[in-house]
Structure 1
Amino acid sequence: MSPRLSVVVPIYNVERYLQECLESIAAQTFGDFECVLVDDGSTDGSAAIADAFADQDPRFRVVRQENKGLGAARNTGHRHVAPDAEYLTFVDSDDTLPVGAYELMVRSLDETGSDFAAGNALRLRVAGLFPSHGHRKPFAETRLKTHVTEIPSLVTDRTAWNKVYRRSFFDAAGVLYPEGILYEDAPVSVPLHYLAKSVDVFSEPIYHWRVRENGDLSITQVKTDPRGVIDRVRSIELVREWLLARTEPEYREYLRSYDHNTLVEELPMFFWSVPDGDRAYRAAYQQHVSRLLRAIGVERLEALPAPLRLKYRLTLAGRMDRFVAVQRLHRKVRTLRARLAA
């Protein structure tokens, strides 16, 4: 008899964190699961840790492949889970879970019939657990059988690992993780929010998202790597391409809503990195963000607050020196306001 829940854990060079991650999965109060560990060509001791864990707990098994990246490893794990498991979830191999996470979400899905459940997250630091700013708004309150059209901030719920999917829903959607890019979560998470008939949303933290602080930063923590801006823009474009391909009339409004969030929340996150980036980073920002702005429609900028309009116009004009000066002034003003409020 197949387990009810399949857990997929992509693994690549995380020997420092992997044991803690796997122990947190094994300790779940919901025990009817299998865990597929995908060794994505690790060159450190991760594979040995995974093998040892699988030897001692039959719910865990290891699949190996040459290094292809996180999106590919998740897709490999999905292909190797039990074919008739009822639910599916993903865990990143440097993170952990509170012991009742899966029990909470599976029980809710059993009761509501929703297509998936999603929950809040905490940042896991050496000093302890802290709220995740990015999850604060969409998970401000628990709401069962809801939808992104009822909670618009769920469009920012892009992470792969704070969810338990009904397997039939996930498979029928046919949306797999893009391979070879960073920020591969959104091109799956956002479409599935729109496709779902209903979603169970929990304010209770069900995931501990690690901040690497010991010198081995994840690539998404290196804010001035040009690949970060290039791949994040590509991730946004993949979501837009999926929305544009849908023929249902409501998807026009979904695209408009998604584009608005991109302009006012997602792209502005890059602004803070541009002054610290080198010439290559600034060139990547200017080229790829400009391409996205033109695809969304430059006329959409007119409805934005003046500071955003100014920064986007400078970006489109290639006036990066002026952009940097404006952003540095903005940083000084924000710092001064924070001091006065303290």
Structure 2
Amino acid sequence: MKPRLAELTAIRAERFLLMAELAKLPKDMVFFTQITMEAGEDGEYLDAMRKANIKGALVGVEAVTPEGLKAVFKDFNYSGVALANQLQTFKKHGVHVLGSFIFGLPTDKPATFDATVEMALKAGVTFAQFVMMTPFPGTVDFNRWEIEQAKAPEVVATPTGDIPITRYWLIPTAIRPKMFTPHPTMSSLEISQRTQKVWDRFYDWSSIWERSACTPTLRARVAFMFLSKLYRQMYAGTGISTDSARRKIQNLGPLDRQAMPQTLRRQTHARTPIPSMGARLLLGKPPPPSLPRPPGESVTLHRHHKAVAGRWLASQRVDGVTTILSTIRHKS
């Protein structure tokens, strides 16, 4: 066996050992992970994930066309019908998918947006996020962009002085551009508007209701619908991989905001509160009583009681997808 193959085989075996240990934990402990598309080719691995109570995974689909995948150096991913079949494989093995798609690639066209949302719906992913292209430090795109910017630096005026566009994370949110690299055929406003329409299409009530069939009861289906709307409200425009969930979902420059249609401006600043009925659906059972150690009870037993309380607190966390996936139980 070649050294590299032996190394990868050993890593895979370690993962199976880890999942075997996770499977021994209480079933109220739900896990969520991030994984690549290739996992869909390994049914044994997906089965082990399900047994380990790993309810779902964020999968970086990125693009649905061969040209788009090549632009993000993921041309090893499937596209078209093969992509839909690959994503459906996860669900067949009991692992729900949060599909992540990127817009604003140089190869994107207006038709790309409709094709992407139709593919996401056809593939049956439980959740999806649609984010605009952002070059992150350390990536090939960022390094290439930084070299190009060095020839003719672009800066953004801020109250504290001019900041290079390549240090966009230092620019205040209110004036930070939404896109940093120009698109060859579409403006940042057009890409942003089309992206929001994709979010709206994927998270409309009828589509959510159809996906909620993964839950076993009517109560769980209703909770799933409210949580899907909550996810759309929190993460549209940023995606779950960022820490800016409470940022305004539309974060264009001043000129783009002025050009934005009034209807879209209202949508980007509006907050639709989750009805009280939806909040009640998310309430869990009361926590175990926290009592001092009774006389005569061993320290070991007392620590066990504390661990039970700790597990309850972990299971009650309201943390985006963790809470959403906790409502999902596969039908027997």
- Say yes or no: TM over 0.5: no
More strand by share: 1
Structure number with greater Rg is 2
